[in-house]
Amino acid sequence: MVKRHFDYEEKYRNLQGKFEELQELSRSLQFDLTDEFKLLEEKMKDIRVNKYQNLTAWEKILLSRHSERPTVRDYIEFIFDDWIEMHGDRCYGDDRAMIGGIASIKGIPVTVLGHQKGRGTNENLHTNFGMPHPEGYRKVERLILQAEKFNRPVMTLVDTPGAYPGVGAEERGQAGAIARVLMTLSSLKVPIIAVVTGEGGSGGALALAVSDRLLMLSNSVFSVASAEACASIIWKDAGRAEEMASALRLTAQDIKDLGIADEIVEEPTGGAHKDFENTAQNLQDRLDRNLQELLAIERHELLQQRYTRLRHIGRFQEN
């Protein structure tokens, strides 16, 4: 049976409960075990820290999907000043699973885009669990072209299980809408920084990840398809998702090792939601530094670098 929920914190809380009971009991029996308890407590904390430094790929997937994990809107509101959300694809609708607008970071105007998951069922029905329809990708295309017009850098925040697989999405051209964003971003004449904040799922995530710099939060993942889907398709056994998670090399560290991600932004022990402010502040600093670096690069050179970077992804042998 595949574990569907990241339950380490629950277990840890149970352990802590037992520990407190033990302390209580020892106090009532007037055993002086202060030093031992101190050691024990430190050891427990160490083990927890160590655990979070050594999560399995599957655990990272579960953590990246954690219901308390900060959403893209949380990050945007913390990191950027003067955020003004823009709506609509001018063609069919406004996709609430994909948000976009303009804002500034340390005084520099930028265009910001991101997948929006909800917190709780109601919000998630509103945002379709962060799974965009074609109108979401067309909104992105519209806003990035506007960013280019106004010479405004683009920052994207990636957090989606994937583009929505549904009848309406197919009717309105999900494939083409994603493809166009990929093509447009590849040659957009302004700097682009992307961050995977949570779940980077498939082509629907990739459409916001074509960039000059790709950052990943340390517990985020980025995968060609969900581990469940891969296990079910390749091994005909969705139950082997955990094993598949490792095979796919989808953790932030894997993606960096593959030469796709540039930087990992460390989350606090327990994950981003355990200390949102700190995480968001870290991310802001990284975004700011990367933006400064990219703005210092001559524009033609920047585009050349972006192309070279994309063009050389992949490994093969040639006879």
Minimum CB separation of residue 178 from another protein in Å reads 4
Q: Exposure pattern of 168-205 as b/e (b: 16+ CB <10 Å)?
A: ebeebebeebbebbbebbeebebbbbbbbbbbbbbbbb
At 112, which helix (H) or strand (E)?
strand 108-115
Q: CA–CA separation, 86 vs 286, rounded Å?
A: 25
Contacts of 301 (CB under 8 A, 6+ apart): none
Contacting a copy of itself within 144-173 (CB under 8 A): 171-173
Minimum CB separation of residue 304 from another protein in Å reads 11
Contacting another protein within 251-290 (CB under 8 A): 254-255, 258, 260
- Closest to a copy of itself by CB, 178 vs 252, is 178
- Closest to another protein by CB, 70 vs 162, is 162
203 binds, among a copy of itself, another protein, none (CB under 5 to 8 A by kind): another protein
> Phi/psi of residue 54, each to 5°?
-130, 40
Contacting another protein within 88-127 (CB under 8 A): 88-94, 102-104, 109
Contacting a copy of itself within 176-215 (CB under 8 A): 176
Q: Which of 101, 118, 132, 134 binds a copy of itself (CB under 8 A)?
A: 134
| SS3 state at 119 | coil
Q: Exposure pattern of 36-72 as b/e (b: 16+ CB <10 Å)?
A: ebeeeeeeeeeebeeebeebebbbbbbbbbbeebbbb
Question: Are 42 and 248 a contacting pair, CB within 8 Å?
Answer: no
| SS3 state at 102 | strand
90 binds a copy of itself (CB under 8 A): yes
- Closest to another protein by CB, 241 vs 276, is 241
- Alpha carbon 308 to its chain centroid, in Å, reads 24
Site string for another protein, 206-235 (x = CB under 8 A): x--xx-----------xxxx---xx--xx-
Tell me, by CB under 8 A, how many residues bind a copy of itself.
9
8 binds another protein (CB under 8 A): no
Minimum CB separation of residue 264 from another protein in Å reads 15
Q: Which of 25, 39, 175, 295 binds another protein (CB under 8 A)?
A: 175
β pairing state of 263-265 and 213-217: parallel
> Phi/psi of residue 154, each to 5°?
-115, 135
Q: By CB under 8 A, which span of 85-93, 152-160, 197-205, 265-273 interacts with a copy of itself?
A: 85-93
Q: By CB under 8 A, which span of 21-29, 89-97, 211-219, 239-247 interacts with a copy of itself?
A: 89-97
